[in-house]
Amino acid sequence: MGTPTGWSNSNIGAQSNLQIPAAVAGMSRPGQRALEAHLGADSPRANLRRGARIPAGLLRVGLRLADGLVIGLVCALHLQSSGTLLMEAQLQTLLPYIAMAIVTLTGLSVSGAWNVEARGLANGRAIQAANICGMMLIITVLTMSRFWPHTAIHVAGPLALLLWLSLNVLHFGFSLLVATFVRSGRMSENVVIVGATHNARKLIARNAATRELNIVGVFDDRLSRAPTDIEGVPVLGRIEDLMSWQDLPNMDRIVVTVTSEARERVRTLVDRLRILPQRIVLLLDLAGFDPETESLSQIANSPAAYISGRPQDLGRILIKRAADIVFSLGLLIAFSPVLAMIAAAIRLEGAGPIFFRQRRHGFNNQIIRVWKFRSMKPDRAAEIAMTAQTFAGDTRVTRVGAIIRKYSLDELPQLINVLRGEMSLVGPRPHAVGMTTEQTEVHAIVGDYAHRHRVKPGLTGWAQVHGSRGPVHTKEEMRERVRLDLEYVNRASFWLDLYIMLMTAPCLLGDRTAQR
């Protein structure tokens, strides 16, 4: 499978460069004008979400935690007001509180109070959910009054009222917060559509009212039949223009909206788009869409719709990020004396900066600056793009550099990248911009190379614990490394990450043959 046309280092992730990519030269005049307008300062490009997206699932988890905290706090305060401390209360005293808390949480779950989607949590729905929960609490109090009237009057009744009022205030305030996020576009994924079809028009029109998706543009090979825009969303060019588009790394998803009858066209588009790191979704039909019970983001995010990549697992993302923060902070503290000694040794050896910050490819092919201790002679050009891989007896490597490279200590500053969220502790190693093997850019050697960018790059990875470390001088070595990277992408889990972290040190220290 070929490499994306025009995918050059000069236009990938060039955040501040607004020049038209070279591949646009072959576009039709309407498409070229649309793309030029899109890249202008006053164009729809300003709607491109640049900051971190706030996933609806994260807000859902936050709301559940807030509900649990409020319920526990209300119960504890009510218990204390009766003259009993929580730690001193007997089980018989706590049972009504436990029962009311369980009923409240069940009511919130049944009423759909936690169904936060990108279209927002409407104020009416939030209050409705709290009222349903309140009705369940009333039924519980009435039931208690038949068997334990004293408990119902003095405990369950007042507690139910306090819980109902507190949850109404909490959910109303939370709905206002979500509405603010929706209006600002912080909850919307950046999406491009492939196919200027009737389905694309319906998707854009239905999205206009909710802004669940931030639809940035449309690409279609049949520009002669395509309009310059669809419901205000510009048609930016052909598929090859999408491949060389400088904003492609900022896209979260590519939605293919072609008719189900055009099977050959679907197959051709899938083959051309599969090499991209973005998640690619095939959306054939919106005929059964019910805006009352479904959201556009749910339809476009269903597992059955994915033809490349897979739906994001929010739970795993949160666990991985939490582990990255905890472990990287711990490692930075533990290795701080070593870091200080290495920095001092580099400074004493001669002139030049202590750190080397090289441009490398990160998640979704975005360009990040990766931190390393400088282990070679100063070379500003190498920070921009790789000039040459290291080799045995490389005279560019300094004396201190040879020592720290032997044990991969030059990589330790990348813990800063992990804390910043640009890298993870475990993932495919980030390759430098312009990296070549046998005079061939690495993305041209393996057709599925870009798939390794579907996860954050890592400080260590599956390939490294299997002996694929350091420079790769042959195409066969590059194919093997990418194979191991993609194996990790497909199998990634917390336990696999933990295994890789535990195996990294023994593999590094026990390998005296690998060049670094």
> Which residues have CB under 8 Å from 480's CB, separation 6+?
468
**Position 427 confidence tier, pLDDT thresholds 50, 70, 90:** very high
Residues 493 and 400 in one domain: yes
DSSP 20: P
Same domain, 153 and 240: no
Residue 237 in any domain: the answer is yes
Residue-wise pLDDT tens digits, 167-193: 888 888 888 888 788 777 777 788 899
Write out pLDDT tens, residues 114-155. Answer: 776 644 445 556 667 777 777 888 888 888 787 888 777 878
Q: Is residue 206, in this structure, part of any structural domain at all? A: yes
Least confident of 213-222, 259-268, 292-301, 320-329: 292-301
pLDDT number for residue 311: 55
Question: 303 falls in which pLDDT band (50, 70, 90)?
Answer: very low
Q: Which of 277-291, 462-476, 500-514 has the lowest mean pLDDT?
A: 277-291
Task: Kindly tell me if the per-residue pLDDT of 297 is higher than 70.
Answer: no
- The answer to whether residue 3 is domain-embedded is no
Question: Where is pLDDT greater, at 23 or 224?
Answer: 224
Q: Are 212 and 119 in contact (CB under 8 A)?
A: yes
Q: Which residue type sits at 514?
A: A
pLDDT at residue 304 above 50?
no
Beta strands 189-194 and 213-219: pairing type? parallel
Determine which helix (DSSP H) or strand (DSSP E) holds 125, and give its type and residue range.
helix 123-147
Residue 14 lies in a domain: no
Query: Is the residue at 69 inside a domain?
Result: yes
What one-character-per-residue DSSP string does 228-279 give? SEETTEEEEE-HHHHHT-TTGGG-SEEEE---TT-HHHHHHHHHHHTTSSSE
Asked whether the beta carbons of 445 and 437 are under 8 A apart, the reply is: yes
* Per-residue confidence band for 435, with pLDDT thresholds at 50, 70 and 90: confident
Same domain, 356 and 497: yes
Q: Do residue 159 and residue 265 come from a single domain?
A: no
Q: Which residue has the higher pLDDT, 256 or 414?
A: 414
Read off the CATH number of the domain in which 223 is found: 3.40.50.720
Cα separation of 252 and 41, whole Å?
22
Domain boundary among 266, 284, 308: 308
Between vectors from CA 406 to CA 405 and to CA 410, what angle results, nearest 5°?
A: 25
Contact 484, 452 (CB under 8 A): no
Question: Is 426 within 8 Å of 455 (Cβ atoms)?
Answer: no
User: To 10 degrees, what angle do helices 314-334 and 336-349 make?
Assistant: 60
How do beta strands 458-460 and 306-308 pair? unpaired
Q: Is the pLDDT of residue 421 over 70?
A: yes
Nearest to 428, CA basis, from 448, 406, 394, 453: 453
Within a domain: 13: no
Q: What is the mean pLDDT of residues 324-335?
A: 92
Residue 475 confidence (pLDDT): 87
Tell me, what's the pLDDT at 39? Answer: 42
Tokens 């050697």 locate to 445
Give the separation between CA 96 and CA 137, rounded to whole angstroms.
12
Domain count, the chain: 3
- Do 210 and 251 reside in the same domain of the chain? yes
Q: What tokens does 483 get?
A: 């194979």
- pLDDT tens for each residue of 342-387: 999 999 988 889 999 989 988 888 889 999 999 998 888 888 877 6
> Global pTM?
0.57
- Asked whether residue 499 carries a pLDDT value surpassing 80, the answer given is yes
Average of pLDDT values for 282-301?
Answer: 51
What mean pLDDT comes out for the span 270-287?
A: 72
Q: What is the largest CA-CA distance in the chain?
A: 89
CA distance 353 to 377: 10
C-alpha to C-alpha distance for 368 and 418, rounded to whole angstroms: 12
User: Which residue has 């390939």 as its token pair?
Assistant: 463
Mean pLDDT on 203-220 = 82
Token pair for residue 136? 């369940």
Do 80 and 201 lie in a common domain? no
Same domain, 286 and 319: no
Top mean-pLDDT range of 56-60, 310-314, 456-460: 456-460
The answer to whether residue 483 is domain-embedded is yes
Asked if 36 and 175 sit in the same domain, the reply is no
* 92 domain residue, yes or no: yes
Could you report the per-residue pLDDT of 212-268, keeping only the tens digit for each? 788 889 998 887 788 888 888 888 888 888 888 888 888 888 888 876 666 677 777
Distance CA 505, CA 516 (A): 15
- Cα separations in angstroms, 78 against 97, 147, 169, 450: 9, 22, 18, 57
Of residues 177, 215, 216, 217, the one with CA closest to residue 54: 177
Q: Kindly tell me the burial class for residue 203, based on how many C-beta atoms sit within 10 Å of its own C-beta (0-12, 13-18, 19 or more).
A: buried
**Which range of residues forms the domain containing residue 33?**
22-52+188-308
Q: Which of 285, 308, 331 is the last residue of a domain?
A: 308
What rounded mean pLDDT belongs to the chain? Answer: 77
Q: Which residues lie below 8 Å from residue 173, measured CB to CB, with a gap of 6+? A: none
Are 196 and 179 contained in the same domain? no
Measured CA to CA, the distance from residue 347 to residue 349 in angstroms comes to 6
Q: Are 127 and 173 in contact (CB under 8 A)?
A: no
Same domain, 366 and 489: yes
Q: Is residue 105's pLDDT more than 90? A: no
At 513 the pLDDT is 55
What is the β-pairing status of strands 458-460 and 355-361? unpaired
Whether 302 and 339 map to the same domain: the answer is no
Which segments of 321-447 are extended strands (E)?
355-361, 367-373, 424-426, 436-437, 440-441
Contact, 104 vs 167, CB < 8 A? yes
Radius of gyration of the chain (CA): 28
Residue found under tokens 């971190």: 52
Is residue 28 pLDDT above 60, yes or no?
A: no
Cβ proximity of 467 and 511 under 8 Å? yes
- Give the whole-angstrom CA distance, residue 450 versus residue 275: 6
358 φψ region: left (φ > 0), alpha (ψ -120 to 50), beta (else)? beta
With cut-offs at 50, 70 and 90, classify the pLDDT of residue 48.
low
Which of residues 510 and 125 earns the better pLDDT score?
Answer: 125
Least trusted range by pLDDT, from 137-151, 155-169, 439-453: 439-453
Domain boundary among 184, 208, 242: 184
Same domain flag for 242 and 330: no
Between 392 and 346, name the one with better pLDDT: 346
- Binned at pLDDT 50, 70 and 90, residue 88 comes out as confident
98 has a pLDDT exceeding 80: yes
Structural contact between residues 247 and 45, judged by C-beta atoms closer than 8 angstroms:
yes
Helix, strand, coil fractions of the chain, as percent rounded to 5: 55, 10, 35
Q: What pairs with residue 194 in β-bridges?
A: 219, 256
Residue 62 has pLDDT above 50, yes or no: yes
